[in-house]
Structure 1
Amino acid sequence: MKSTYFAPHQNGNEALKKVPTDRIVAEEWPLLVQYWKEEKDIAWRNTNNSIKRKFPHRTGRKPFTALVDEIKATGKGADNLEIWMSSRTNGRGGDDEMTDHILAYLNNELNKIPVDKRTPAAHEALYRRALGGKRNRKTTVDSATSSAYP
């Protein structure tokens, strides 16, 4: 029905004129047209947000909680910094100069910290310093970390 009676490039008035009265109640047609227009707006917004991502992860469809389990299996602590670094170095994905630059910076900074001083607090401080201050909302990495530690 959508492909027959609605074209996304039409303005609202044109779409409202073509009511398929044999298939839908006339009063509900404007609501359906509005829904289809919002659906297009959401897809457009999602595309733009995807383009704006600065540091795309390279884990594909693997959830961060599975990545946390893999990190724990290697004996490392699954903190925000380790998850961020692992999700940008493992798996497939195109080379991203900005991400590679941040990874090099993080590795360099980690190497400056003596092994016995590499605490979760030190990792968190480095993570926040390199990737932004404390936020009011949880990031995807924060959520993965908290769900991995019940």
Structure 2
Amino acid sequence: MKNHVWRPLYVVLLVIAAVLVTRKILVPADFGIGSRGYMYGWHRPSNEQEWKEVSVKYRTAEYCKQCHPEKYNEIKQSPHANINCENCHGPALNHPDDPKVLTVDRRRELCARCHFRLEYPTSGRGKIRGINPKTHHPELECVTCHWPHDPRKEGHKI
């Protein structure tokens, strides 16, 4: 065969060999090994302790419910029922050990993420009541007039 066939073939074989050698060097020997044989995924028996030491940053509303049942029940009966507590209060990492880590985010931008009026009503979010934040009382925080746990109740202050 001519050189124009062999040269590209050698390059391809060299790249394949380089990938296999690199994989052998970089991928741990127990990667993908499970109790039932080879398994796809990120589990490695040699790093189980590393994962046990990882702190959970985000919790669920059920975690918040343990200490705040009245707030949990209030929001679960409101239009905001599907919103997780941490969307507004931030991650529950180190809470309740340090109660100051959770704050109420009063920025208008937080509410505008969902309540900015969309021009295309076919979106699922188009069904949410929207406002124009530039014209709808731009000098006030939303929580001045709207109670976030149940926005149907107006005139509440936090």
TM-score interval (norm. to shorter)? under 0.3
| TM-score in terms of structure 2 length | 0.26
- Give the helix-richer structure, 1 or 2: 1
